[in-house]
Structure 1
Amino acid sequence: MSSYVDFPHTGPGRRRPHRTAKAFTAVAVVAAVAAGGAYATGLGPFGGEDGPDPEAVAEARAFLADWSAGRLPEAAARTTGPDRAEEVLQGFTAGLDIEEPKLTAGTPKDTGDGTVTVPFTARMPVTGLGVWTYDSKLPLRQADDGAWKVEWKLSLVHPRLSDTEKFRLEREETAPVEATDRDGETLSGTTHPSLAPVLAQLAGGTDGGGARGTVQLVDRATGKVERTEASFGGDDTLKDEGPVRTTLDADWQAAAERALGEADGKNASLVALRIDDGEILAVANSPATGFNRAVSGTYAPGSTWKIVTSAALLLKGAVAPDDVVDCPQYLTVGKRFQNVETSEHPGATFRKDFTESCNTAFISLRGKLGDGELGEVAKKHFGVGQTWHVGVPSYDGSVPVPRDATEKAASMIGQGRVQANPLIMASVTATAVSGTFRQPSLVDGTDDETTTTPLPPEVVTQLRTLMRATVTEGTARVLAGLPGDIGAKTGTAEVSDEQDNNGWLVAHRGNVAVACVVEEGVTGGGSAGPVIASLLSAVPES
């Protein structure tokens, strides 16, 4: 059975699929943008005297930021056809069950005919299915009054969207798979609410198949399928084999879900995994239903990324913990960077810079690394950006080569276009303190196609020492009173001018690494810190 939303002639309402054993739903596809958003608008000097007008680029980024945040009237007002644009964007967004998607702007181009084109990549997580990714572009034209506007056309939403063709989602409903934890205890969305979307994703197979569905391009008049744009889901192999035994631990999972109560009602997510084999002990999201942001989300990791940056610097002997690396309040590299609360530490050592999370000090060391070196270290030693087979759909990180000096400065502190999520940062933490990347897994038997090189023992020792000092004398003192030899790193990640910063904290104790992000948590120690403190207080040292 199918139901249709005849986009773009639709209002903001959303039809829910009929819940039958083999029901299919057809709805119009959504475009949208990022959990975590972009790092500030205008990441550096993209335009100049011979390049695109910076005002045009700023308008394009503002349009994407409004669209990403759901401010559709504001986004539409930035176009040459605001009424139609708002109708289409609203119908397109409301038509498909997507949460926290991401739009990433590319390098703008002056087309030479009075227009500027800004390409962008759309990553749209379809709840319970996976992520639909495609590329499109924004055309901008200067109005008579000199102001730049997005030139409205259907194809900017998606290149194949037109007056004659639209998108449809065919979703096949599947029952959540029966699952147990590592010790055979039954798991369900009733006993562990955060696992509802995870168990739904497991329904289709061990390689992240999940429920099945397709995004199709269809003829508006006849409904004929012209092509399949994206496919999600696997086969029914797990259904006939009895309960799926996962790597999860029911006690850790319950403690993780309770701990997210410390996030004060904000969107938050957490992952805990074993350091020695990458097996995932807990995956928790708040709210519990919907998008599995802990594994598939895309966020700027902020200063937790300084673990990777430090590894890159230490690997080539570019800095030592006792070296003096001054920490001023501000540092300008195309734009002004500052420390949290504009703190400063004159004459600080690199150890102090790490424990106090000094942005300006880390940025000052950018010349010690080649433009692509941070991404190379992340991929080679930490597995970030390689393809992971976790057992459910996952986002495996991205560290692009910086496009300019400003973006390189931002990447040193986990901003710019660096993208991660709690699964990635828990894995980064585990790799840093063990020296060896082990692909995270939620079930047995997942393929491992990654290829990594262990970190040298002396670098591991230095990273462990720096993370331990962050707990005993730095920004992660919220964990100092807990038992065990805990090491940690806090992070504060800028999102946009309209949103508060996201708060991060990663930590390790015994054989477990954990990572937590609290959206708009302002600071890592103040928001994610209490969450991880609650979790580690509730479980024994492993």
Structure 2
Amino acid sequence: MRRARRTLAATATLAIACTTLTGCFEEPSPHDAVRDFLVGWQSGDYDLAAGRTDGDVAKVRKALADTKLELDAASFRFEIKSLSMTGEESKADFHAEVDLGENNPLWEYEGVLPLHLVDGAWKVRWSPSVLHPQLKEGQRFAVDSVPRSRQPVTDRNNDPLQSDTILYVAGVYPSQLGGQAESVVAKLSEATGYAQDRLLSRIRSSPPDRFVPLVTFGRSRFPAVQAKLEAITGIKVQPQKQPVNPDAPKQIVGSVGALTPETEQELGGPQRAGDSVGRSGLQQAYQNYLTGSTQTKVITLDLKTGKQVAQLMEWPGRQNISVQTTIDRKIQQAAEQAVADSQASAMVAVQADTGEIRAVATKGMHQEKDALAGKYPAGTAFSIVAADALLKNKVSTKQRLACPQERTVGGAKFVHVGQMTGTTTSATFQEQFAKGCVTALASLARRVTAADLTESAKAFGLGQPWRLPLKSFSGGMPALSSDADKAKAIAGQNVEVSPLSMALVAAAVSSGTWRPPVLVTNPTTPDPTAEVVPAAQPGPVPVDARIRKELTTMMRAGAAGTNAQAGKGRVYGVTATAGDQMTWFVGWQGDVAIAVLSKNYNAGAVAGGFFSALHNSP
């Protein structure tokens, strides 16, 4: 809405300008003529402005209106700098600000209004140089814009994460329209729904021998309008390749579409109606980087030849760049293969020692909304974090705990839905951790304080204000005010997490340090024009070496003999239930840490499929 905002700003300053100009001088002077001319020009009251000149009113009115079209200007704003008078001659110096729209900078220049007395009234001595000191008879303004092709989103090796697709650009060569620009634009507007005045102003503001892109269509929409476009004499359609067809992870990379008539004014930035614009994912988050900004020149043209006479101003524009992610194609492919047979699964894989996201794969779920930003009960997968607090409070991994089918702690009832072990038969804390016995784990609530559990959760990143260019959820746990609350936390019943946050928990145990997630390594901020510097990422948090050693042993026991054990090398992790037919696997193999959340499916089997596919991939 930048164009609209500037227009409103110009209107708002108009009253101030009128008051200021009127009050500039206490004695009779040419100021009324200067004021009326500039106010009329600024407000679009060209009759008012033309009436204050010594030129033909119709000719001046047309010249002023043409100037707005030729510059495709959103608004004009003027400020009187000085006014001098010598006898029957006068001169006003003014400062001009022209909003060229489309996120171009303001064009600012200094102008001069020569005035003289005509039959006792002050008049602006009309010539094209009134509009700009370098504009002469037989010349006109034009705006020469050079758009840049969209840059790709890439993987960690800078290979594009999308393939080229064909977009269809409908446009014109102004010199070939033979005075039929208005007719051509009217037909194009009727066929496409784009605003007629905006299309026409783009044509009139462009050099006549330059192809002027007007509307861009994707492959799905183009066939519906192709016949209508071909029926409009003067419209040319140029197929263009652009890297907009996303590869996996498709919802993370995001989609790209053409800006529609309805959304033309929704976006600030270098886009114009019909241009490609990111609709979701990283394509949307990094739109201004991927498109950059247009190189723009204000020039004058010879009316007869259409050739450039002079360059009045140039803006090189902001260079567009590709966006490099941390995605690893090999790991992403293995993740896609692993979730393929499930009904609904979300999986995140991270580099254990950096927190860099290597893969995000889903089946029946959304990669951003569920895998990165989903809020799901942690279930006994949270026992990894709870064990950190318990071990710090001297709970031995060899302590024996019963695993009854039901247990009540502090008034809260817990039910173990796994294999029945009986109330008298006990196993070690490590063994109950490995099998995810809810009732055994909940029984340890009195062995740890609420502050200890909260501190461990924070150390493993839960609730930390990390920042990613896409929506994400770092986890959440309520205040714990009773033994029942603590027992529920240990069992993960009042803790919410995302697959991403749990993958980082596994990475912390694997590497010995919790680190915030990283998805994009270049550039460092999603908005190149941002004035506010994003908040700093939370720093790394080391895991106590003794505790890490014990957790590693416990998680090795948790993965041993399960579906998650696959491929070469040991798998470490826990399988867990979280109610509503949801299961977790949280663990690692080698330097890749993962979290899998599955509905009505064994998350451990997905993890095993992933490690196997990763091991067998070329």
Aligned pairs for 1:195-210 (under 5 A) are: 195-200=249-254
Counterpart secondary structure, 2:583:
strand
| 1:181/1:248 contact within 8 Å kept | yes
Paired residues of 2:161 and 2:248 also in contact (CA < 8 A): no
> What is the CA distance between 1:327 and its match in structure 2?
2.1
TM-superposed deviation, 1:291? 5.1
For residues 590 and 512 of structure 2, the distance between their equivalents in structure 1, rounded to whole angstroms, comes to 15
Q: How many residues align?
A: 326
Distance 2:590 2:439 in 1: 32
Give the direction of change, closer, same or farther, for the CA distance of 1:386–1:288 in structure 2 (3 Å limit). Answer: closer
Could you tell me which residue of structure 1 aligns to residue 588 of structure 2? 508
Asked if 1:178 is matched to 2:178, the reply is no
1:372 is displaced (CA, Å) by 3.6
Going from structure 1 to structure 2, the CA distance change for 1:268 and 1:177 (only over 3 Å counts) comes to farther
Unaligned runs of 5+ in 1: 2-174, 204-211, 215-231, 495-499, 522-526
CA–CA separation in structure 1 for the residues paired with 2:510 and 2:390: 16
Matched residue type, 1:408: K
* Structure 2 counterparts to residues 50-129 of structure 1, below 5 A: none
What CA distance in whole angstroms lies between the structure 1 residues aligned with 2:600 and 2:589? 26
Q: Say if 1:255 and 1:539, in contact at 8 Å, map to a contact too.
A: yes
**CA–CA distance in 2 between the matches of 1:322 and 1:377?**
21
**Closer, same or farther in 2 for the Cα pair 1:357/1:452, shift >3 Å?**
same
Aligned with residue 517 of structure 1, among 597, 600, 604: 597
String of CA shifts for 1:63-112, please: whole Å, max 9, x gaps. Answer: xxxxxxxxxxxxxxxxxxxxxxxxxxxxxxxxxxxxxxxxxxxxxxxxxx
How far apart are residue 192 of structure 1 and its match?
A: 6.4
Counterpart in the other structure of 1:364: 443
Q: In structure 2, how many angstroms separate the alpha carbons of the residues matched to 1:393 and 1:351?
A: 36
Q: Note the C-alpha offset of 1:420.
A: 0.5
The alignment partner of 1:386 has SS state of: coil
C-alpha separation between the residues in 2 aligned to 1:360 and 1:245? 46
Counterpart selection for 1:488 from 573, 585, 591: 573
Matched position secondary structure for 2:340: helix
Q: CA shift at 1:340, angstroms?
A: 2.1
Q: Secondary structure at the match of 1:410?
A: helix
1:413 aligns with 2:501: no
Alignment deviations for residues 251-281 of structure 1 (CA, whole Å, 9 cap, x no partner): 2112211211121x2x221000101111111
Q: Secondary structure at the match of 1:268?
A: strand
Q: Is the 8 A contact 1:478 1:533 kept in 2?
A: yes
Letter in 2 for 1:479: A
> Following superposition of structure 1 onto structure 2, how do residues 343-422 of structure 1 map, counting pairs within 5 Å?
343-344=420-421, 346-379=425-458, 381-402=459-480, 404-416=482-494, 418-422=495-499
Q: Is the 1:198–1:292 Cα contact (8 Å) retained in structure 2? A: no
SS of 1:393's equivalent? coil
Once the two structures are superposed, residues 303-331 of structure 1 have per-residue CA deviations (whole angstroms, 9 ceiling, x without a partner) of: 111100001111222x1111222222210
Partner residue of 2:288?
236
AA partner of residue 291 (structure 2):
K
Larger Rg: 2
What's the counterpart of residue 286 of structure 1? 363
Q: Is the 8 A contact 1:313 1:369 kept in 2?
A: yes
- Report percent identity of matched pairs: 32
Tell me the CA shift for residue 360 of structure 1: 1.2
1:404, distance to aligned residue in structure 2 (A): 4.5
Q: Where is the strand percentage greater, Structure 1 or Structure 2?
A: 2
* Alpha-carbon contact 1:383-1:451 (below 8 Å) kept: no
The amino acid of 2:480's aligned partner reads P
Equivalent residues of 2:368, 2:471 under 8 A apart: no
Unaligned runs of 5+ in 2: 2-148, 164-243, 258-265, 269-283, 293-319, 526-534
Distance 1:291 1:516, change over 3 A: same
Verify the 8 A CA contact 2:150 2:290 in the aligned structure 1. no
Contact 1:382-1:437 at 8 Å conserved across structures: yes
Cα displacement (A) at 1:431: 0.6
Structure with bigger RCO (C-alpha 8 Å, 6+ apart)? 1
Taking a change above 3 Å as real, the CA distance of residues 289 and 461 of structure 1, as seen in their structure-2 partners, is: closer
Q: How does 1:251-290 map to 2 (within 5 A)?
A: 251-263=330-342, 265=343, 267-287=344-364
**Partner amino acid, structure 2, of 1:517:** L
Deviation at 1:478, TM superposition (A): 1.0
In the alignment, is the contact (CA less than 8 A) between 1:176 and 1:199 conserved in 2?
no
Structure 1 pair 289–349 and aligned structure 2 pair: CA distance change class (3 A): closer
- Aligned equivalent of 2:325: 246
Deviations 1:203-235 (A, max 9, x none): 9xxxxxxxx889xxxxxxxxxxxxxxxxx9676
Deviations 1:478-529 (A, max 9, x none): 13343202111011002xxxxx3211111211111011101244xxxxx111
Given residue 251 of structure 2, which amino acid in structure 1 is its aligned partner? Answer: P
- 2:542 aligned residue: 454
Aligned: 1:327 with 2:379: no
Q: Which range is displaced more, 368-377 or 249-258?
A: 368-377
Check the 8 A contact 1:325/1:350 in 2, yes or no. yes
Q: CA deviation at 1:535?
A: 1.1
| 1:235-255 Cα deviation digits (max 9, x unpaired) | 613433332111001121122
CA contact (8 A) 1:491 1:504 kept: yes
The amino acid across from 2:347 in the alignment is L
Q: For the residues of structure 1 that align with 2:537 and 2:503, how far apart are their CA atoms? A: 19
Task: Go from structure 1 to structure 2 and tell me whether the alpha carbon gap of 1:253 and 1:234 turns closer, same or farther (over 3 Å shift).
Answer: closer
Shift of 1:412: 0.7
1:253/1:284 contact within 8 Å kept:
yes
The 3 A distance-change label for structure 1 pair 455 and 289 is closer
1:14 counterpart residue number? none
Whether the 8 Å CA contact 1:259–1:535 is kept in 2: the answer is yes
What amino acid sits opposite 1:396 in the alignment?
S
TM-score by length of 2: 0.49
Cα 1:269–1:481 shift into 2, 3 Å: closer
Tell me the SS of whatever aligns to 1:431.
helix
Provide closer, same or farther for how the CA distance between residues 291 and 394 of structure 1 changes in structure 2, counting only shifts above 3 A: closer
Q: Decide whether the 8 Å contact of 2:446 with 2:483 is kept in 1.
A: no
What pairs with 1:156-195 in structure 2 (closer than 5 Å)? 178-188=152-162, 195=249
Following the alignment from structure 2 to structure 1, what is the Cα–Cα distance between the partners of residues 503 and 287?
Answer: 30
CA RMSD of aligned residues (A): 3.0
